Amino acid sequence: MEENKILDIAHKKVTGIICLLSTVYCLLFFMGCALPRIIVLHDPLSPEEHLNLGVTYEKNGELDNALKEYIKASKKLPLAYIYMGNIYFQKNECDKAEFYYKKAIKKEPGNADAYNNLAWLYFIKRENLEDAERLALKAIELNPAKKAIYIDTLEKIKGLR
């Protein structure tokens, strides 16, 4: 009998504590107080890993997530600006694509792909064809190993002119 009284008292106390904790949680929730959060002060991924993650998102059609990763990568990896331009190109936001291709050229003037991509953008838009031709020629000069790709761009531009 004595055991049952002790169990009843313990049960009432535990129930009371649970009720109190539930009340406090509800008050915090409804008053807008935030529960503690974990804040990461150091990004565990390298710029290259962000770039690779962005490529994976892009391949899966998740362009906005890819863009977020490319933005993170661009803080230390100028190559990411080309990828950002490519995302905007795919989203048919040509002005933004042009901005990032130009930024890639400014940050990394030896990257032939940036010149070729900007030339291709001008070809698609059917504008600045003289600049587009000059950009494609610059790409060929900078990276002869990709000459076949860049010549394709150049020939298509010349075909429009």
Q: Using one digit for the tens of pLDDT, what is the confidence trace for 35-61?
A: 567 776 788 999 999 999 999 999 999
pLDDT of residue 160: 87
Dihedrals φ, ψ of 137, to 5°?
Answer: -65, -40
pTM of the model: 0.74
Tell me the residue type at 95.
D
In percent, how much of the chain has pLDDT > 90?
A: 72
Tokens of 75: 């803080």
Between CA 88 and CA 74 the distance in angstroms is: 15
